[in-house]
Chain A
Amino acid sequence: MIVGMSKVQVLGPRRLLPETIQCLHAQGVLQLRSLPDALGAGPDGKAQLTLKKIPLARAEVARERSLEEISRRLHDLLLILPVPKQGIQERGELPDVTSAEFPSQLAVVESEIRALNERRLALEEERDLAARYERLLTPLVPLLGELEGATHVETVGILVRRDRPEALTFLEQEVGRITRGAYTMLFREIDKEQAGVLLTVPREFGRDLSRLLFEQGITEIRLPGRYADQPFITTLGLLLRRSRELPDEIAALEAELLRGSRRWYEPLRQAHRMAQDRLARLRAMADCGETEHAFVISGWVPTERCKGLASALEEALQGRVTLLEHGIRQEEYDAVPVVLRNPGLVQPFELLLALLSPPRYGSIDPTPFLAGFFPLFFGLMLGDVGYGGVALALALLARTKGWGGETGRKVSAIAVASSLSAIVFGLLFGEVFGNLGALVGLHPILLERTKAVPAFLGLVLVLGGIHVALGVGLGLWTALRHGEREKAIAKLTTLALILAAFLGILARLDYVPPSLGMGALVALGPLVVVLIAVEGVLAPLEIMKTMGNVFSYARLMALGIASVMLAEVANQMAGFFTVGIGVTVAILLHAVNFAMGCFSPVIQALRLHYVEFFDKFYQDGGQPYRPFSLAS
């Protein structure tokens, strides 16, 4: 359900504004409204000009800029430092973020951490470079000895694309022409796209070779600056040696950074949060209004928290500040923040709603319906005791291990409900990993999906009709609640049309007396006329769309049959091979079917809700609730 909100105003003497903001910040329940939104018309219809925005004093603007700068630096440092997992030893001390000495102390810590980080980055770059060329360099090592003494030659490393072998042929021809055949050329593949080439030419041709490479746009191997002044051949040897030394040097630096993190991570994090809180309080001033002697803060609070907030203000400011609660007009609903609250079992399904924008204030929260129908649809599609059992075991394992944090906990709760539903439907369909249920004495109770296809189709279409009718019913209730008469009549007529069509089909199948079916069919005409009168000439298209929505539930049958057929194919495959190979192939196919059987039903069940069900009543565009609360 959507929690009721109140529009509140906090009023008090101008001098108490900082303390009031501090108190509201600590309470963390008020979502501020900026002043232009909060300004209303006076009794004479004119804007209340006496209420104006509170300008920040020059000192406050300077403090805001300083806090922004400090916050940015702290944030950058926290990104550099690894998060310490073990206990903190020798925790460092930092002064208050607003104190005069904080920037200088921060600068000391910052220079220490940044120096370590820069050294680490330089070493990592060198390591990556060495690793990249190691495949090229390693086979050349035996040749280095021969070339090292040759001071009259120049060696150049280049990169060429492997998909252009003609470029290499051309290069070789040109180098041969320039040096009159006095060159050596060594070739080595680096990866799928590139190959490395080592070219050695007499020193007097070095300049001509460089010009040729430049003109042909051939990439020369770039080496770190520390090797810049050395001959290429010496550099190769050094790089190879360094590639063996670098991992230890990097590990030592990382250990040093971790030591620094154990000392400074927590103080820096706290300082960052403090800076964020101070900044939030300063910025909150811009949302407040003032008259000559008083201030006004406007915002939204969950109605149930209003009394608590009023008491906290009363206690903190000795009754010198007042909290006024106002009703919310329907035209303000678009601006009201939305808080969802559902019982423990239903609450995880709010995650599925998070893929859309929140419901508008004053509309219906569809989470309870998602909690009911999502597992039902999933179970109808997967419908297998074996697959359901495996899914349940995985969900419980994820829950026990705490995988994925809070989101993981919600996902696992949804998975538990859905897999239990799959197990129940598996029992009703008599399926354990397809047709293996018969081996353990399990027989279909409701229907056998592979054989009773029309019955299965009928079942899912009836379910679809109920789901769509429920959506139309919720739309009717919303229209009545908001006093939208015409919309309510249209929804009621659509509901009656679905019922009439349903009765007509049941009469055709001899489930109800033919007279009832005939009556329903006769009623269809007047109902369509009423709908056209209310909704216009496009109403018949809406009827077709609603019918299409119901037929869309046939996907529950389609995916269900596909799942059981694949499982049966997996079982049959086992018989085509020897026992060992057959069982392995069957397990692999079941694993593929299980993965598909978990993924596809989720998407399809979501789609049935988002497109077919929500279309009938869901009003999106709600504002998320972001209370003015402490970061620390």
Chain B
Amino acid sequence: MERAVLTLSAALAIGVSGLATAWAQSRIGAAGAGTIAEKPELRGTVIIMLAIPETMVILGFVVAVLILFGR
């Protein structure tokens, strides 16, 4: 039972943060594509903006790893 709860918690940690990242990236990606079309010189800034929400899923992944292996 405890193992099942741990596994579910780990799945939630990465699943929810993955959804949040995907939602944020979809908005930033759409805006970024428009930005690059009009001002190609801003592509560096757009790449940075696009990569920023990935922190959420990565931290979610770290939490999941700690739940599964950190005991």
| A residues in contact (CB < 8 Å) with B | 355-356, 453-454, 457, 548, 551-552, 554-555, 557-558, 603-604, 606-607, 610-611
CA distance A603 to B54 in the complex (A): 11
CA distance A555 to B47 in the complex (A): 16
Query: Is the pair A355, B65 in contact by a Cβ cutoff of 8 Å?
Result: no
Query: Is the pair B69, A610 in contact by a Cβ cutoff of 8 Å?
Result: no
Shortest Cβ distance from residue B2 to the other chain A in the assembled complex, whole angstroms: 20
CA distance A557 to B55 in the complex (A): 13
Residue of A with least CB distance to B41: A357
Residue of A with least CB distance to B68: A453
Known: A453-B65, A454-B70, A603-B51. Contact between A610 and B58, CB under 8 A? Answer: no
Residue of B with least CB distance to A607: B51
Query: Is the pair A554, B44 in contact by a Cβ cutoff of 8 Å?
Result: no
Nearest 3 pairs of A and B residues by beta carbon: A355-B44, A607-B51, A555-B58
Query: Is the pair B69, A454 in contact by a Cβ cutoff of 8 Å?
Result: yes
Known: A453-B69, A611-B52. Contact between A355 and B62, CB under 8 A? Answer: no
Query: Is the pair B47, A554 in contact by a Cβ cutoff of 8 Å?
Result: no
Residue of A with least CB distance to B61: A558
CA distance A588 to B59 in the complex (A): 30
Known: A551-B59, A555-B58, A558-B58. Contact between A457 and B65, CB under 8 A? Answer: yes
CA distance A397 to B70 in the complex (A): 44
Contact pattern, B 16-55, Cβ under 8 Å of A = 1, otherwise 0: 0000000000000000000000000001110110011011
Query: Is the pair A554, B51 in contact by a Cβ cutoff of 8 Å?
Result: no
Q: Which of B43, B52, B62, B69 contacts A554 (CB 8 A)?
A: B62
Please list 29 pairs of residues, one from A and one from B, whose beta carbons are closer than 8 Å in the complex, sorted by A's number: A355-B44, A356-B44, A356-B45, A453-B65, A454-B65, A454-B66, A454-B69, A454-B70, A457-B65, A548-B55, A551-B59, A551-B62, A552-B58, A554-B58, A554-B59, A554-B62, A555-B54, A555-B58, A557-B65, A558-B58, A558-B61, A558-B62, A604-B51, A604-B54, A607-B47, A607-B52, A607-B54, A610-B48, A611-B48
CA distance A554 to B59 in the complex (A): 7
Chain B residues lying within 8 Å of A551, measured Cβ to Cβ, are: 59, 62
Residue of A with least CB distance to B70: A454
Chain B residues lying within 8 Å of A356, measured Cβ to Cβ, are: 44-45
Q: Which of B44, B54, B66 contacts A610 (CB 8 A)?
A: B44
Shortest Cβ distance from residue A222 to the other chain B in the assembled complex, whole angstroms: 31
Shortest Cβ distance from residue A416 to the other chain B in the assembled complex, whole angstroms: 23
Residue of A with least CB distance to B44: A355
Chain A residues lying within 8 Å of B52, measured Cβ to Cβ, are: 607, 611
CA distance A603 to B50 in the complex (A): 10
Residue of A with least CB distance to B45: A356
CA distance A604 to B55 in the complex (A): 10
CA distance A356 to B66 in the complex (A): 36
Shortest Cβ distance from residue A464 to the other chain B in the assembled complex, whole angstroms: 12
Shortest Cβ distance from residue A469 to the other chain B in the assembled complex, whole angstroms: 19
Query: Is the pair A355, B54 in contact by a Cβ cutoff of 8 Å?
Result: no
Query: Is the pair B61, A554 in contact by a Cβ cutoff of 8 Å?
Result: yes
CA distance A552 to B54 in the complex (A): 9
Q: Majority SS of interface residues in chain B? A: helix
Shortest Cβ distance from residue B36 to the other chain A in the assembled complex, whole angstroms: 12
Given contacts A552-B55, A554-B59, A607-B48, 8 further A-B pairs with CB under 8 A are: A457-B62, A554-B61, A555-B58, A558-B58, A603-B47, A606-B47, A610-B44, A610-B48
Shortest Cβ distance from residue A619 to the other chain B in the assembled complex, whole angstroms: 15
Residue of A with least CB distance to B52: A611
CA distance A13 to B11 in the complex (A): 80
CA distance A487 to B26 in the complex (A): 37
Residue of B with least CB distance to A559: B58
Chain B residues lying within 8 Å of A554, measured Cβ to Cβ, are: 58-59, 61-62
Chain B residues lying within 8 Å of A552, measured Cβ to Cβ, are: 55, 58
Listed residue (B52, B58, B59, B69) with the most chain A CB atoms within 10 angstroms of its CB: B58
Chain A residues lying within 8 Å of B55, measured Cβ to Cβ, are: 548, 552, 555
Chain A residues lying within 8 Å of B44, measured Cβ to Cβ, are: 355-356, 610
Shortest Cβ distance from residue A605 to the other chain B in the assembled complex, whole angstroms: 10
Chain B residues lying within 8 Å of A355, measured Cβ to Cβ, are: 43-44, 47
Shortest Cβ distance from residue B13 to the other chain A in the assembled complex, whole angstroms: 12
Chain B residues lying within 8 Å of A454, measured Cβ to Cβ, are: 65-66, 69-70
Chain B residues lying within 8 Å of A606, measured Cβ to Cβ, are: 47, 51
Shortest Cβ distance from residue B58 to the other chain A in the assembled complex, whole angstroms: 4
CA distance A436 to B44 in the complex (A): 38
CA distance A557 to B61 in the complex (A): 10
Residue of B with least CB distance to A354: B44
Chain A residues lying within 8 Å of B69, measured Cβ to Cβ, are: 453-454
Shortest Cβ distance from residue B61 to the other chain A in the assembled complex, whole angstroms: 5
Residue of A with least CB distance to B48: A610
Chain B residues lying within 8 Å of A558, measured Cβ to Cβ, are: 58, 61-62
Chain A residues lying within 8 Å of B58, measured Cβ to Cβ, are: 552, 554-555, 558
Chain B residues lying within 8 Å of A548, measured Cβ to Cβ, are: 55
Shortest Cβ distance from residue B33 to the other chain A in the assembled complex, whole angstroms: 16
Chain A residues lying within 8 Å of B45, measured Cβ to Cβ, are: 356
CA distance A557 to B64 in the complex (A): 13
CA distance A91 to B42 in the complex (A): 44
Shortest Cβ distance from residue B1 to the other chain A in the assembled complex, whole angstroms: 24
Residue of A with least CB distance to B55: A552
Listed residue (B51, B59, B69) with the most chain A CB atoms within 10 angstroms of its CB: B51
Shortest Cβ distance from residue A465 to the other chain B in the assembled complex, whole angstroms: 15
Chain A residues lying within 8 Å of B59, measured Cβ to Cβ, are: 551, 554
CA distance A616 to B61 in the complex (A): 26
CA distance A604 to B44 in the complex (A): 13
Listed residue (A453, A551, A558, A603) with the most chain B CB atoms within 10 angstroms of its CB: A558
CA distance A611 to B53 in the complex (A): 12
CA distance A557 to B70 in the complex (A): 15
Shortest Cβ distance from residue A414 to the other chain B in the assembled complex, whole angstroms: 16
Residue of B with least CB distance to A612: B55
